[in-house]
Amino acid sequence: MSELTPGMPLTQLSEEEQFFYQTVRDFAQEKIKPLSTQMDRDAKFDPAIHKQFFEMGLMGIDVPEKFGGAETSFFMSILAIEALSYVDASAGVMVDVQNTLVNNCFKNWGTPEQHAKYFPQLTSNKIGAYALSEAGSGSDAFALKTRAVDKGDYWELTGQKMWITNAGEAEIFIIFANIDPDKGYKGITAFIVERDFEGFSVGKKEDKLGIRASSTCELILDGCKVPKENVLGEVGKGYKVAIETLNEGRIGIGAQMVGLAQGALDAALKYTQEREQFGKTLASFQAVQFSLAQAATELEAARLLVYNAARMKDAGINFIKEAAMAKLYASQLAQKIASDMLDLFGGYGFTKEYPAEKFYRDSKIGTIYEGTSNMQLQTIAKLILAK
């Protein structure tokens, strides 16, 4: 096993898992970190990194080997997301969406024919995106207005999707539309849409506070023609596809926030042991030591929540409550740690000369996407009160 580095998560990891985590984090440190500041400034991910994600097998971690995947486990996806996010949360979320949302959606709901067609593309060179949200449909996910009309030989989709992660680079999209609004959520259906389908286009790219290298765009469906065989799951069962997939995706966001928080903490650990005030290092002061110790302790609790939810998923145990708890706590804690660690940098923390401000900006999205904190609390409350 390679030499362990600071912040290495040993909790609950086998030697194989430790090696995988370390390999991904070494790659992130060597290849992504030198580009991270420029990618953040330009709000554009370097396409050379995309290629390396595929070459390393990070875009098909839990996909069967016969389709080009690594065929490991959902937990390994979580480790990869955490390791990448330690360096750059934008890298983490790209791999997160590909594995926990898109690939999982195909794996759980796709037909053998869809597996044979799309998995080899998703594991070799094509990025995927998951499109549920709309301008008037965020937390109220099933208020979506995008329509799908049966035209006999194909489905015709019309509408607009908003805030779609990976949309700038993606070539395969899972898009949710309603075939019959009178049926409410029971009319929602999932469709596989390719970027070059007639009537489909990627619209405005959002100018964001954080995870700026990650593309977030609108999708425009103007009479988009989708083949009948590109329904993912059953017609009218898209709500089940959406809910079950997002339950898994929330664990991925928890991992992203754990990785980010560890990166912020380790940056502060390094800085406080180098920076001197009043004739001694900042780390010599008890108040600073206590702040670092508190962050490390709470971060380990968040990591345990995330790992536990991922292990439960792999074991086939109901993990909905645990996933919501992991996402809730990890995202809230990442903001707190990123903020507290920035304070330890003093005035330097408020500049782009040091990484603290980027960790702080990137952390904010965690409590918003793939279910806000209030939605996680609602899920948790519903499940504990049902007992």
* pLDDT exceeds cutoff 90 at 114: yes
* Mean pLDDT of all residues belonging to the chain: 96
* Poorest-pLDDT segment among 12-21, 80-89, 155-164: 12-21
15-127 homologous superfamily: Acyl-CoA dehydrogenase/oxidase, N-terminal domain (1.10.540.10)
CATH architecture for the domain at 129-236: Beta Barrel (2.40)
* pLDDT exceeds cutoff 70 at 170: yes
Q: Alpha-carbon distance 117 to 119, whole Å?
A: 6
* pLDDT exceeds cutoff 90 at 10: no
CATH topology of domain 240-385: Butyryl-CoA Dehydrogenase, subunit A; domain 3 (1.20.140)
* pLDDT exceeds cutoff 60 at 345: yes
Q: What is the pLDDT of residue 197?
A: 98
Q: Which residues are catalytic?
A: 370
* pLDDT exceeds cutoff 80 at 143: yes
Please compute the mean of the pLDDT values over residues 60-75 and round it to a whole number.
Answer: 98
Q: What is the pLDDT of residue 8?
A: 65
Q: What is the pLDDT of residue 6?
A: 62
2 band by pLDDT with thresholds 50, 70 and 90: very low
Domain boundaries of the chain, sorted by first residue: 15-127, 129-236, 240-385
129-236 and 240-385 in the same fold? no
* pLDDT exceeds cutoff 60 at 1: no
Q: What is the pLDDT of residue 139?
A: 87
Instruction: List pLDDT tens digits, range 207-226.
Output: 999 999 999 999 999 999 99
Q: What pTM, to 2 d.p., does this model score?
A: 0.96
